[in-house]
Structure 1
Amino acid sequence: MKFQLISLRDANQNFSRLIASVERGEAFCITRRGQEVARLTPLHPSAPMEKSPGMQDPLPTEIAMLHASLAERVRQLEARLDKISTALSPTDKR
């Protein structure tokens, strides 16, 4: 996979466009002061799907976005559970 270099500043200022490019199958190497700090790649590196008539985005993109959203929500819920568990006294945990 070939990575396009992009500065952290440019990635931050153009994040929506950057994500749209990734959804089309492009990959980016994000740099800070010339040093690679992150890579942004499609979840599924296969060739992007053709859009069906009347379909705004290919289905795999929608599934990938839903997966990312759900994964983030699970992380949030796990963090809340950890806080609650930590706050409970040992007798409350039974």
Structure 2
Amino acid sequence: MSTSTISASVNTTTKTIANARIREAGQTPNGLIKSMWEYIASTGEVPDFDKDTEAPDSKRQRAIQHMHQLMDEMPKNTPLSSMTADDVKKELADRDL
């Protein structure tokens, strides 16, 4: 069976990081690409990496929104509501949480 070469361009930093992670996983870039092409050929499914990838800024924004939601749900007019952030940390640390 004849073979063909597939090529793609990525920036040098991405290539260096990806190659290191691929090696850490016990694979090679060539083997990984070959496996992905064979998967697509045999299943007809093309992985949609974009839908599974969430930008770090988006994750950070969701975390901030969640923190604000939790703060809004906290009971008001309790000792915690008049405490500084450092006081709250100390109080929670003292509770072994």
Q: TM-score, normalised by structure 1?
A: 0.30
* Structure with the higher strand share, 1 or 2: 1
Structure with larger RCO (C-alpha < 8 A, sep 6+): 1
* Structure with the higher helix share, 1 or 2: 2
